[in-house]
Structure 1
Amino acid sequence: MPGDPKFGKLFPCVCTAERQQAKLSRELSSLSQLDSLRHLTFESFDPSMRGTESAFRIAREYARATDGWLVLHGAVGVGKTHLAAAVANAYAARNAQAAVYFRVVPDLLDQLRATFDPENGVAYDERFQQIRNANLLVLDDLGTEHTTAWASEKLFQIINHRYNEQLPTVITSNARLDRIEDRIVSRMLDARLSRYVFVDADDYRVRGFTQSQELR
Structure 2
Amino acid sequence: MAMGYSKEIIEAANRAMEQRRRQSITKAEQRRRSFFSRYPRALEIERELSRTAAKAAKAVLTGSNARLELERLKESNQALQSELAALLKSAGVSEDYLEIRYACPLCKDEGYVDGKMCSCMKQLLRDEAYQRLNALSPLSLSSFDTFSLDYYGEAPLKAGGIPPKKRMEDIYRYCKNYAANFDPQLSPSLLMQGATGLGKTHLSLAIARAAIGKGFGVIYCSAPNIIGKLEKERFRSARGSADESDVYLLECDLLILDDLGTEFPTSFSSSTIYNMINSRLMASRPTIISTNLTMRELEKQYSQRLVSRIMGNHVRLEFLGSDVRQKKRLIR
TM-score range, shorter chain: 0.7 to 0.9
Instruction: Read off the aligned partner of 1:61 and give its amino acid letter.
Output: N
Unaligned runs of 5+ in 1: 1-16
- Correspondence 1:195 to 2:326: no
CA distance in 1, matches of 2:320, 2:208: 22
Query: Whose relative contact order is higher, 1 or 2, with alpha carbons under 8 Å and at least 6 apart?
Result: 1
Aligned partner of 2:147 in structure 1 is 45
| 1:73 CA drift (Å) | 0.4
Aligned length: 191
Any conservation in 1 of the 2:230–2:245 contact (CA below 8 Å)?
yes
CA distance in 1, matches of 2:3, 2:330: 51
- Correspondence 1:117 to 2:236: yes
CA distance in 2, matches of 1:65, 1:174: 27
Any conservation in 1 of the 2:217–2:252 contact (CA below 8 Å)?
yes
Choose which of 183, 192, 204 in structure 2 pairs with 1:72.
192
- Correspondence 1:210 to 2:330: yes
Aligned partner of 2:103 in structure 1 is none
CA distance in 2, matches of 1:30, 1:90: 10
Aligned partner of 1:185 in structure 2 is 307
SS at match of 2:145: coil
Instruction: Read off the aligned partner of 1:55 and give its amino acid letter.
Output: I
Deviations 1:88-109 (A, max 9, x none): 11100111xx331101101011
CA distance in 2, matches of 1:79, 1:162: 24
Aligned partner of 1:141 in structure 2 is 259
CA distance in 1, matches of 2:310, 2:249: 18
Fraction of identical pairs, as percent: 27
Unaligned runs of 5+ in 2: 12-127, 153-163
Aligned partner of 2:202 in structure 1 is 82
- Please provide the CA RMSD for this pair: 2.7
CA distance in 1, matches of 2:275, 2:9: 21
TM-score (norm 2): 0.52
Any conservation in 1 of the 2:198–2:321 contact (CA below 8 Å)?
yes
SS at match of 1:43: helix
Choose which of 207, 217, 224 in structure 2 pairs with 1:99.
217
Instruction: Read off the aligned partner of 1:57 and give its amino acid letter.
Output: R
Name the one with the larger helix percent: 2
TM-score (norm 1): 0.78
Farther off after superposition, 108-117 or 35-44: 35-44
Aligned partner of 1:155 in structure 2 is 273
CA distance in 2, matches of 1:123, 1:194: 30
CA distance in 2, matches of 1:128, 1:31: 21
Deviations 1:152-192 (A, max 9, x none): 111100100111222111110001221213222222222xx
Any conservation in 2 of the 1:34–1:101 contact (CA below 8 Å)?
no
Instruction: Read off the aligned partner of 1:165 and give its amino acid letter.
Output: A
Instruction: Read off the aligned partner of 1:42 and give its amino acid letter.
Output: F
| 1:110 CA drift (Å) | 1.0
